[in-house]
Amino acid sequence: MERRFRLFLILVITLAAAALAALSVLTYTHLHDSASRLEREDRAAFTALAERLADPENITGVRIQVKSTMGDYARYSSFDKSLLSGLTFASHDSPLDTDQSLSLPDDTTITVSLYKTPDSRILRKLLSFLDETFGTDFLTATEKVVLSMDGDLYRITYREKSFTAECPAMTEWIHAMQQQQ
C-alpha cells in the first residue's frame, strides 16, 4: 500500500511540474507577443475609424479646443470634415509612445462626434425599423473620438483603444488658423 501511495505521489508531482512548465511557456509566449497583438488591435481600430471618417456624412460635429478655451469654437468653425479622412496610422515607435517627457505647447484637442453604426446589417435594419416605428434615435446616437495634437502627431482615443496617427493636411490647416490670431 505504501509503495502504491509513493508511486501515486510521484505521478501527481510529475504531472504538476509538467503543468507548471506548460503554463510558464504559455505565459511567456503570450506576454512576449503582447506588443504585436496590441499593435494589431490598434491597427484594426484605426482601420474601422478611418472607414467611418472617409464619409463626412458620418461626422455630426467637430469641436477644436486650444488650451481648453471655449472661445476657439468660432475661430475653427470653418473646419472641413473631409480633412479627417487623411489620417494615417503612425507606428508605435512614435515619440508619443516612449517614456520621454513631451511638452504639449498647443494643448490642442479635437473632438469628433460620429453616428454610432452597428456592425451587423440585421441589427442596423432592426434599429432603423424601431426608429421609424417608435420615434427612437438608436441610429442617430453619437459617439466621440478625441484627437490630442502634439506637433504633427495625434493621440487618438476611439472607443476603448488609443493609438497614434498623423494627418499633414489637418495639421497644416490648424497651424494656419493658429497663426491668424
Q: Per residue in 137-154, pLDDT tens?
A: 777 778 899 999 888 899
Element (H, E) at 162: strand 161-166
Copy the grid coordinates of residue 49: 475609424
Q: Which pLDDT score, from 0 to 100, does residue 94 have?
A: 45
pLDDT per position as a tens digit, 4-47:
999 999 999 999 999 999 999 998 887 777 778 888 888 999 99
Q: Which pLDDT score, from 0 to 100, does residue 132 have?
A: 87
* Alpha-carbon torsion (100, 91, 83, 145), positive or negative: negative
Q: Which pLDDT score, from 0 to 100, does residue 28 have?
A: 86
- Which burial class, exposed, middle or buried, applies to 10 when counting CB atoms under 10 A from its CB (0-12, 13-18, 19+)? exposed
Which range, 17-26, 130-139, 172-181, has the best average confidence (pLDDT)?
17-26
| Pairing between β-strand 153-158 and β-strand 142-150 as defined by DSSP bridges | antiparallel
